Amino acid sequence: MNFYAISRYLVYRTLSGHSRGHGIHSPFVFRLVSSVFRNKTAATIVCKVENARKRMLNDRRWIEVNDLGSGSGGRKYGRRRISDIARTSPVTARYGRLLSAMAAEFGNGYIVEMGTSAGISTMYMALCEKPCSILTIEGSEEIARVAAENFSNAGIANISIAAGSFEEYLPAALAKAVPGLVFIDGDHRPERLLAYFDLIAKEAGNETVVIIDDIHMNAEMGRAWKEIGMREDVTVTVDIFRMGLVFFRKEVTKGNYVVRY
Residue 98 scores a pLDDT above 60: yes
Closest alpha carbon to 106 in 204, 220, 26: 204
pLDDT for 25-77, tens place per residue?
899 999 999 999 999 899 999 999 999 999 999 999 999 997 666 555 444 56
Domain ranges of the chain: 3-258
The region of weakest confidence among 39-43, 55-59, 99-103, 238-242 is 39-43
Q: What's the confidence (pLDDT) of residue 1? A: 74
Across 252-256, average pLDDT = 96
pLDDT, greater one: 36 or 78:
36
Highest mean pLDDT (candidates 18-27, 36-45, 206-215)? 206-215
Q: What's the confidence (pLDDT) of residue 127? A: 97
Across 104-125, average pLDDT = 97
Q: Return the SS3 of 209.
A: strand
Apex CA 250: angle with CA 247 and CA 255, to 5°? 55
Q: What's the confidence (pLDDT) of residue 75? A: 47
Q: What is the pTM of this model?
A: 0.94
Sheet holding 110-114, edge to edge: 159-163, 133-138, 110-114, 181-184, 209-213, 243-247, 236-239, 255-258
Residue 21: pLDDT band with limits 50, 70, 90 = low
Q: What's the confidence (pLDDT) of residue 24? A: 85
Residue 82: pLDDT band with limits 50, 70, 90 = very high
In sequence order, what are the residues at sequence separation of 6 or more whose Cβ sits closer than 8 angstroms to the Cβ of residue 1? 9
Domain 3-258 has CATH 3.40.50.150: yes
Closest alpha carbon to 15 in 239, 227, 247: 239
Closest alpha carbon to 193 in 163, 162, 227: 227
Q: Is there a contact between 203 and 174 (Cβ–Cβ < 8 Å)?
A: yes
Q: Is there a contact between 197 and 129 (Cβ–Cβ < 8 Å)?
A: no
C-beta neighbour count of 108 within 10 angstroms:
18
β-pair type (133-138, 110-114): parallel
